[in-house]
């Protein structure tokens, strides 16, 4: 349930009201309802500005009632409020509170209505002023406003284009000027400008500029100027101007001014620019002192006079260039006068114009009317210059001229009784007719016309002919020189001998001789063969030709000697018109072919006259070793060469790319000599002074010390034998048990090899280091099948190919490292002597007889070795005198086979049993058994168990087993 009440508000004034209503209910206490009521008040807005000290300023601002009701407003000083009736306070139109006054002091404004309120500011002191006025409305609304402030003028000269320049020491300047600006010297009637920037820091200032005369009075240091010396007089020269000259300085902004200096006369100028406020009487807010000076124009002609050398033709314009330099501060304007008389015309182009601070090019043109010498001056007027500039001119004119197309006639070299002719061209280069005389001819040439005159010459003898022909022309004469050289042919050799210090038989050598034509006539020449043409040959390039006047020509001579027995050789050159030919002597001593041999890497001082290809003492069997032989042609004679081994020859020439390496080596060694030397390249051509490296590669399949010669044949020279030496080490035998070797090395040796085997036991505690072996006779004699030595001395001596090798040593002593103890137990090789046929194989047997172990020993280790001493039963295989020798027996490192064996006791192992115990399980009930009468009787029974024995050794074992009752096996 609710209820609604209506409240009415009827105020009797324009104030604000607050009250409350107390509502009592059945509740314990009443509750209060606040009540507020008011009338929308009028709102007054004011906007105040700034004022100047020392003047009166009127400021108007708009006051508007933006409220919803009419209001009456009164403006009074704050100290006069409050009052009972504010209408009584408005006694006058102005409400004054110095230094301010406001009007009107009382006014009424309807809603939305506005009025103008005027504030008058008249400050008297340079300080901050502030007064408070109260604005009262008839609704009892009060508002205080304050008006402030008086300010000093604050101006600042921010910048000057070109900067300010302080007066120099001792220079007279204005007594009160704050700034000093100096203009650079300039010429009269020129204009200079400087841009000034002045900043107004506070107020808007109306201004104008005044150009005044300076107050000049000398002062002592720190002396203040006297007020009586300061006077204000306007400047009368009117050379300084400021733009703009009047206006308003906006507050807090920079204003640009243009200071202009425009002098009229040659003198110094001095003034002071005053910046004056307009609203305040004669208030100068800034003084700027300005100075400027002038200097005369600086004008220079280059050259200052024009003298045209020689003579120029009349009626022919002639020009000369000259320059005018303007060294003045500003541009100049010029005007040239023109000389135009009845005979001559002298003028300058361009005749008028303007020149900046630079150089200007002019062209002086003179045209003569008669033949005479002219000396005059040409005048140039310069604007604002006190006197003109003059150019001195001197020129000479002459009349018509006839010219020749050549300055002289030169018939050049000519032979006697020959006739030659030339034509002269006479030309009139002027606009006048010209009469000419060239004895015995004469004529008349129209203006700018030409004519031809023929001159003939025929000499009778050799001489240097020189004369002059006189050409006579109106207003002058001319001379034409004539020259001729009457000669006959004459050619010489600049070198009469041609030497070939390095000449080789059959090889061409080149040299040069020089022909020189001593005359001015061309000469024909050709070369002929001289003496001994059959023993040598020579060609000439060119072999014939024409030699020009005073020209030298190199002739290339290619000379080839066919024998070394040349004595005198000469080449003959015939020249047309000469009585005797030219002869060139050829000096040469031909050399024969010469070749040298060397081994790269061997110094020349250590290399003998005949080098040796030493492959070394440690060449490994089956390995290829290469050496180089350098063949040098010491002459210019190219020659073919061949290189091949003397004894260890082969039939192959080069290795084919598709051929396998081992097949290639097998082919090289197919002759069975144990070694082969492969030469690349084995043939070719040795060029002139060429060094050719020849690679010699040694291939071997048998041990031994090899010696041979390389047969080197070059051209027609005698063959040269180059010694070759090589010692090959290694064994050609291989054991099949190690598996097949690469390159089919299991094919066996190339010759029969006899192996004599010895077995040794190795004792680790053996302290012996050396074995001293003494042998009587052959250390390993040949044995029969039963092991007995064969006696073949007589037969060997009868069939020995090389008797010196058939002699055997009676006693030989060998010292070698201790190998072990010689024994055939427990290791033994059978047969102890075996022959391995060439290209084949044989089997040997190695047996081991185990030792008997003692009771405590469970295992024994046996270490031994077998040495196979290689012997050659064929004398040809053992030695070829001068070519190959092979050590054997004790002199050769034997074939070694290391032997190792282990002996241990036999052992049977019981397999698949737990802990090695055979366990039987039985019960007492197994002893009782019922018979046929159902009686219980005791019986025997068996329990059987089985086990397995395993032999882990590598040999069969015999064993026996035994037990004790009640067990049985």
pLDDT in tens, 463-514: 788 888 888 876 555 667 888 777 778 888 888 888 888 888 878 888 889 9
State residue 656's pLDDT score.
53
The larger pLDDT score, comparing residue 722 to residue 9, is at 722
pTM for this prediction: 0.45
The structure tokens listed for 809 are 């040593």
- Please give the average per-residue pLDDT across 890-896, as a whole number: 88
pLDDT of residue 723: 92
Give mean pLDDT, residues 266-275: 90
The CATH code that applies to domain 57-148 is 2.60.40.10
Q: How far is CA 825 from the centre of its chain?
A: 83
Give 651-664 as a 3 state SS string: CCCCCCCCCCHHHH
Measure the CA–CA gap between 529 and 536, rounded to whole angstroms. 10
Centre a 10 Å sphere on the Cβ of residue 655 and count the other Cβ atoms it contains: 16
- b/e 401-439 (16+ beta carbons within 10 angstroms → b): bbbbeeeebebebbeeeeeeeeebebebbbebebebebe
pLDDT at 952 over 60: yes
The pLDDT, as a whole number, for residue 442 is: 84
Q: What number of residues does the chain have?
A: 969
Q: Report pLDDT digits (tens) over 84-123.
A: 665 666 667 788 888 888 888 888 888 889 888 888 877 7
Q: Which of 494, 520, 885, 477 is nearest to 674 (CA)?
A: 885
Give the residue from 123, 136, 137 showing the smallest Cα distance to 81. 136
Give the CA count within 13 Å in the CB-facing half-sphere of 436.
Answer: 28
Other C-beta atoms lying within 10 Å of the C-beta of residue 652: 13
Neighbours of 511 (CB within 10 A): 18
pLDDT digits (tens, 9 = 90+) for 164-214: 888 888 788 888 888 899 988 888 888 889 899 988 877 778 888 999 999
Identify the bridge partners of residue 180 per DSSP, sorted by sequence position.
Answer: 289
Contact 409, 482 (CB under 8 A): yes
The residue ranking higher by pLDDT, 466 or 705, is 705
Paired with 492 in beta bridges are 516
928's tokens: 């009782």
Beta-sheet pairing, 582-588 with 497-500: parallel
* Token couple for 366: 């003179």
- The predicted-structure confidence for 828-862, as pLDDT tens digits, reads as follows 998 888 888 888 888 888 888 877 766 666 678 88
What is the band of 229 on the pLDDT scale with cuts at 50, 70, 90?
confident
The correct CATH number of 156-218+231-294 out of 1.10.10.10, 3.30.70.260, 3.40.50.1220, 2.60.40.10 is 2.60.40.10
d(CA 908, CA 399): 156
Q: Please state, in angstroms and rounded to a whole number, the distance separating the CA atoms of residues 150 and 276.
A: 20
Element (H, E) at 796: helix 793-799
Give the strand pairing for 450-457 and 420-428.
antiparallel
User: Average pLDDT for residues 64-80, to the nearest whole number?
Assistant: 83
For residue 760, pLDDT over 90 is answered with: yes
Distance of alpha carbon 682 from the chain centroid = 50
In contact, 306 and 364? CB cutoff 8 Å: yes
Confidence class of residue 653 from pLDDT cuts 50, 70 and 90?
Answer: low
Burial class (CB in 10 A: 0-12, 13-18, 19+), 226: exposed
Q: Are the C-beta atoms of 750 and 683 separated by less than 8 Å?
A: no
**pLDDT for the residue numbered 654:** 54
State yes or no: pLDDT of 397 exceeds 90. Answer: no
Question: Which pLDDT value is given to residue 533?
Answer: 66
Mapping DSSP to helix (H, G, I), strand (E, B) and coil, where does residue 385 land? Answer: coil
For 915: left if phi > 0, alpha if psi spans -120 to 50, otherwise beta; the answer is left
- Would the pLDDT of 869 be above 50? yes
pLDDT class of 241 with cuts at 50, 70, 90: very high
On whether the CB atoms of residues 522 and 450 are closer than 8 A, the answer is no
Question: 3-state class of 668 per DSSP?
Answer: helix
Using DSSP's 3-state secondary structure scheme, residue 337 falls into coil
H-run or E-run covering 797: helix 793-799
When pLDDT is cut at 50, 70 and 90, the band that residue 61 belongs to is confident
| β-pairing verdict for 283-293 and 179-182 | parallel
Round to whole Å and give the CA distance between 747 and 198.
Answer: 121
User: Element (H or E) spanning 389, and its range?
Assistant: strand 389-398
Tokens 């060029």 belong to which residue? 687
As a whole number of angstroms, the distance between CA 493 and CA 547 comes to 12
Could you give the residue range(s) of every CATH 2.60.40.10 domain in the chain? Answer: 57-148, 156-218+231-294, 300-398, 407-423+431-486, 491-588, 595-729
Token representation of residue 222: 């720190």
Instruction: Tell me if 778 sits within 8 A of 792, measured CB to CB.
Output: no
Across the strands, what pairs with 556?
512, 541
Measured distance CA(159)–CA(157) in Å, rounded: 6
Half-sphere exposure of 355 (CA within 13 A, CB side): 28
- Is residue 701 pLDDT above 80, yes or no? yes
* pLDDT for position 54: 64
Q: How far apart are CA 292 and CA 287, in angstroms?
A: 17
Q: Per the structure block, which two tokens stand in for 779?
A: 């250390």
Q: pLDDT tens, 7-27?
A: 887 776 656 788 888 888 877
Which long-range contacts does 139-143 make (Cβ < 8 Å, 24+ apart)? 139/13, 139/14, 139/15, 139/39, 139/41, 139/42, 139/69, 139/71, 140/13, 140/14, 140/15, 141/41, 141/42, 142/81, 143/44
pLDDT on residue 925: 74
DSSP structure class, residue 136:
E
Q: 300-398 has which CATH code?
A: 2.60.40.10
Instruction: Report whether pLDDT(530) > 70.
Output: no
| Res. 380: pLDDT tops 90 | yes
CATH of range 595-729; options 3.90.550.10, 2.60.40.10, 3.40.50.300, 3.40.640.10: 2.60.40.10
Please indicate whether residue 227 or residue 271 has the higher confidence score (pLDDT): 271
Tell me the DSSP string of 565-589.
----EEEEEEETT-SS-EEEEEEE-
Q: Is 784 exposed, middle or buried (0-12, 13-18, 19+ CB in 10 A)?
A: exposed
Residues 394 and 320: beta-carbon distance below 8 Å? no
First to last CA, the chain: 129
Q: Mean pLDDT of all residues in the chain?
A: 81
pLDDT at residue 425 above 60? yes
What is the structure's pLDDT at 657?
A: 39
CA distance 832 to 846: 10
pLDDT of 799 reads: 47
CATH 3.40.50.10490 fits 491-588, yes or no: no
Quote the pLDDT of residue 719: 92
DSSP secondary structure letters along 687-748:
-TT-EEEEEEEEEESS-EEEEEEEEEEETTSPPEEEEEEEEEE------GGG-PPGGGGGG-
93 φψ region: left (φ > 0), alpha (ψ -120 to 50), beta (else): alpha
Name the pLDDT band for 159 (thresholds 50, 70, 90): confident
pLDDT score recorded for residue 89: 65
Per-residue confidence band for 910, with pLDDT thresholds at 50, 70 and 90: low
Transcribe 862-907 into DSSP letters.
EEEEEEEEEE---HHHHEETTTEE---GGGSPPEEEEEEEEEE---
Picking from 294, 212, 214, 290, the residue whose alpha carbon sits closest to that of residue 258 is 290
Q: Sign of torsion, CA 208 209 213 215? A: positive
Please say whether the beta carbons of 757 and 833 come within 8 A. Answer: yes
pLDDT above 90 coverage of the chain, percent: 8
- Give me the sign of the Cα torsion angle 933, 935, 936, 937: negative
Contact between 257 and 276 under an 8 Å Cβ cutoff? The reply is no
Secondary structure letter of residue 504 according to DSSP: B
Q: What is the dihedral of CA 510, 516, 517, 523, to 10 degrees?
A: -10
pLDDT at 388 over 80: yes
- Mean pLDDT confidence for 773-779: 85
3-state secondary structure at position 386: coil
Please tell me the CATH superfamily of domain 407-423+431-486, with its number: Immunoglobulins (2.60.40.10)
Higher-confidence residue: 440 or 856? 440
Asked whether 99 and 121 are in contact (CB, 8 A), the reply is yes
pLDDT band with cut points at 50, 70 and 90 for residue 357: confident
**CA-to-CA distance for 368 and 341, rounded, in angstroms?**
10
C-beta neighbour count of 737 within 10 angstroms = 7
**Mean pLDDT to the nearest integer, 714-743:** 79
Using alpha carbons only, how large is the chain's radius of gyration in Å? 73
Tokens in use for 230? 């300061």
Q: Is the pLDDT of residue 915 over 70?
A: no
The H-or-E segment that residue 546 falls in is strand 544-547
> What is the predicted pLDDT for the residue at 290?
92
Residue with tokens 């300047």: 173
């Amino acid at each position: 349930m609710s209820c609604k009440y209506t409240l009415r508000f009827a105020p009797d004034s324009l104030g604000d009201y607050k009250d409350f209503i107390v509502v009592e209910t059945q509740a314990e206490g009443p509750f209060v309802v606040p009540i507020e009521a008011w009338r929308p008040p009028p709102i007054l807005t004011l906007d105040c500005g700034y004022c100047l000290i020392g003047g009166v300023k009127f400021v108007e601002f708009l006051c508007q009632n933006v409220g919803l009701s009419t209001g009456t407003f009164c403006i009074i000083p704050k100290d006069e409020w409050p009052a009972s009736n504010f209408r009584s306070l408005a006694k006058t139109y102005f409400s004054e509170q110095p230094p301010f006054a406001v009007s009107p002091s009382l006014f009424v404004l309807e809603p939305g209505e506005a009025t103008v309120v005027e504030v008058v500011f008249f400050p008297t002191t340079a300080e901050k002023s502030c007064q408070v006025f109260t604005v009262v409305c008839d609704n009892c609304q009060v508002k205080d406003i304050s008006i402030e402030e008086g300010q000093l003028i604050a101006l600042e000269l921010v910048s000057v284009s070109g900067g300010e320049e302080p007066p120099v020491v001792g220079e007279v300047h204005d007594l009160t000027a704050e700034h000093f600006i100096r203009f650079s010297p300039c010429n009269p009637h020129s204009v200079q400008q400087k841009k000034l920037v002045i900043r107004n820091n506070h107020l808007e200032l109306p201004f104008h500029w005044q150009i005044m005369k300076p107050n000049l009075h000398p002062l002592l240091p720190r002396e203040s100027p006297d007020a009586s010396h300061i006077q204000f007089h306007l400047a009368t020269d009117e050379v300084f101007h400021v733009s703009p000259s009047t206006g308003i300085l906006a507050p807090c902004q920079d204003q640009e001014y243009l200071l202009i200096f425009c002098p009229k006369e040659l003198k110094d100028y001095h003034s002071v620019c005053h910046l004056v406020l307009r609203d305040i009487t004669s208030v100068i807010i800034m003084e700027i002192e300005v100075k400027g000076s002038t200097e005369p124009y600086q004008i220079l002609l280059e050259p200052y006079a024009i003298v045209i050398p020689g003579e120029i033709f009349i009626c022919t314009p002639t020009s000369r260039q000259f320059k005018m330099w303007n060294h003045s501060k500003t541009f100049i304007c010029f005007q040239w006068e023109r000389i135009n008389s009845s005979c001559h015309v002298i003028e300058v182009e361009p005749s008028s114009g303007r020149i900046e601070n630079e150089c200007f090019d002019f062209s002086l043109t003179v045209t003569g009317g008669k033949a005479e010498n002219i000396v005059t001056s040409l005048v140039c007027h310069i604007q604002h210059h006190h006197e003109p500039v003059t150019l001195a001119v001197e020129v000479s004119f002459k009349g018509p001229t006839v010219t020749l197309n050549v300055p002289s006639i030169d018939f050049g070299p000519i032979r006697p009784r020959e006739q030659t002719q030339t034509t002269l061209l006479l030309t009139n280069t002027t606009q006048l007719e010209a009469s000419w005389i060239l004895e015995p001819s004469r004529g008349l040439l129209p203006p700018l016309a030409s004519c031809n005159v023929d001159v003939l010459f025929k000499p009778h003898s050799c001489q240097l002919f020189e004369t002059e022909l006189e050409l006579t022309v109106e207003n002058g004469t001319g001379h034409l020189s004539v020259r001729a050289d009457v000669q006959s042919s004459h050619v010489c050799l600049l070198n009469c001998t041609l030497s070939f210090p390095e000449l080789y038989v059959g090889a061409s050598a080149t040299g040069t001789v020089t022909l020189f034509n001593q005359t001015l006539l061309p000469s024909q020449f050709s070369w002929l063969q001289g003496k001994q043409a059959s023993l040598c040959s020579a060609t000439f390039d060119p072999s014939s030709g024409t030699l020009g006047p005073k020209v030298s020509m190199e002739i290339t001579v290619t000379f080839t000697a066919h024998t070394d027995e040349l004595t005198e050789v000469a080449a003959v050159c015939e020249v047309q018109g000469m009585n005797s030919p030219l002869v060139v002597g050829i000096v040469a001593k031909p050399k024969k072919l010469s070749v040298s041999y060397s081994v790269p890497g061997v110094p020349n001082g250590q290399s003998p006259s005949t080098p040796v290809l030493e492959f070394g003492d440690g060449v490994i069997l089956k390995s290829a070793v290469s050496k180089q032989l350098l063949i040098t042609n010491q002459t210019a004679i190219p020659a073919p060469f061949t290189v091949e081994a003397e004894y260890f020859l082969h039939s192959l020439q080069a290795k084919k790319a598709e051929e396998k390496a081992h097949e290639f080596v097998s082919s090289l060694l197919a002759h069975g000599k144990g070694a082969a030397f492969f030469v690349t390249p084995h043939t070719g051509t040795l060029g002139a002074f060429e060094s050719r490296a020849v690679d010699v590669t040694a291939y071997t399949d048998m041990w031994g010390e090899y010696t041979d010669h390389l047969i080197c044949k070059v051209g027609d020279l005698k063959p040269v034998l180059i010694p070759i030496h090589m010692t090959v080490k290694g064994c050609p035998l291989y054991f099949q048990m190690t598996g097949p070797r690469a390159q089919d090395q299991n094919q066996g040796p190339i010759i029969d090899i006899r192996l004599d085997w010895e077995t040794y036991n190795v004792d680790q505690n053996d302290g012996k280091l050396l074995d001293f072996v003494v042998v009587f006779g052959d250390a390993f004699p040949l044995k029969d099948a039963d092991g007995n030595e064969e006696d073949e001395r007589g037969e060997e001596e009868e069939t020995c190919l090389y008797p010196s090798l058939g002699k055997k040593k009676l006693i030989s002593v060998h010292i070698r490292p201790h190998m072990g103890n010689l024994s055939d137990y427990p290791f033994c090789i059978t047969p102890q002597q075996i022959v391995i046929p060439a290209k084949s194989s044989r089997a040997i047997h190695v047996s081991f007889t185990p030792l008997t172990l003692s009771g405590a020993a469970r295992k024994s280790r046996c270490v031994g070795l077998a040495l196979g001493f290689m012997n050659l039963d064929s004398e040809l295989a053992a030695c070829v005198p001068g070519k190959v020798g092979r050590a054997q027996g004790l002199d050769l490192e034997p074939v070694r086979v290391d032997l190792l064996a282990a002996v241990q006791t036999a052992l049977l192992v019981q397999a698949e049993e737990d802990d090695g115990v055979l366990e039987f399980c039985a019960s007492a009930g197994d002893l009782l058994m019922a018979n046929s009468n159902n009686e219980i009787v005791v019986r025997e029974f068996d329990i059987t168990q089985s086990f397995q024995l395993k032999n882990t050794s590598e040999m069969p074992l015999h064993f026996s087993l035994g037990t004790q009752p009640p067990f049985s096996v």
